[in-house]
Amino acid sequence: MFIEPNIRNTKKGWIEVVCGSMFSGKTEELIRRLKRAQIANLRVEIFKPTVDVRYDEFDIVSHNENRISSTPVENSQQILLLTEGVDVIGIDEAQFFDNEMPQVAEILASKGLRVIVAGLDMDFLGRPFGPMPQVLAMADYVTKLHAICMVCGDIANFSYRKTVSDATVLLGEKDVYEPRCRTCYHQ
């Protein structure tokens, strides 16, 4: 006898992206969403790239020092190996991951998991950054956050690099970067 599956009770996954410039509150928003999931008694696992050791080797830490425990990983494929029995996946600084990050997010969402990805959408030159454009295109929900321009006080979308370096990846804080609006960024 064939029994029709109850589609309404099937666990459905999705991809959320929190993006914006530096100092826009991406990590703060990621932490907020993950802590709310923990309050709801959902099983949460959080990942960050091993290259990001600015505030802590293991924890994800926002600029205002809000923090949550995470697992540093070398590449996005490792995330697939560490998600057994989890309901919600958090991924911070996704722009630093490899080009397989979009497929990893899709695999996790297809397994019924809520995947929350946070990262810079543009590099310091104003170009799409790493795997973020593909993750954004695949996302079910996108939240673009804005900082405040350090020159004029308007809404800022750009991460202006104050130091001279051609390296796409240059970890730094307010000593190296500042948020700027479109006009002040291009001046």
**What does pLDDT average to over the chain?**
90
Instruction: Enumerate the domain spans of the chain.
Output: 11-147
Side chain identity, residue 73 = V
Backbone dihedral angles phi then psi of residue 97, each to the nearest 5 degrees: -85, 170
4 tagged catalytic: no
pLDDT of residue 58: 75
Residue 101 CA to residue 91 CA, distance in Å, equals: 10
pLDDT of residue 60: 77
- Residue 30's Cβ-count burial label (10 Å; 0-12, 13-18, 19+) is buried
pLDDT tens figures, 78-105: 999 999 999 999 999 999 999 999 999 9
What percent of the residues of the chain are helix, what percent strand, and what percent coil, each to the nearest 5? 25, 25, 50
Strand 88-91 to 71-73 pairing = unpaired
pLDDT tens figures, 8-56: 556 799 999 999 999 999 999 999 999 999 999 999 999 999 987 566 6
Of 29, 93, 106, 178, the active-site residue reads 93
Closest C-alpha among 26, 23, 17 to residue 134:
17
What is the chain's length?
A: 187
Q: What is the mean pLDDT of residues 116-137?
A: 96
Residue 118 CA to residue 115 CA, distance in Å, equals: 10
What's the CATH number for 11-147? 3.40.50.300
The share of the chain scoring above pLDDT 90, in percent, equals 75
The helix (H) or strand (E) run that includes residue 177 is strand 177-180
The share of the chain scoring above pLDDT 70, in percent, equals 90
Query: What's the pTM value of the predicted model, to 2 decimals?
Result: 0.88
156 has pLDDT over 70: yes
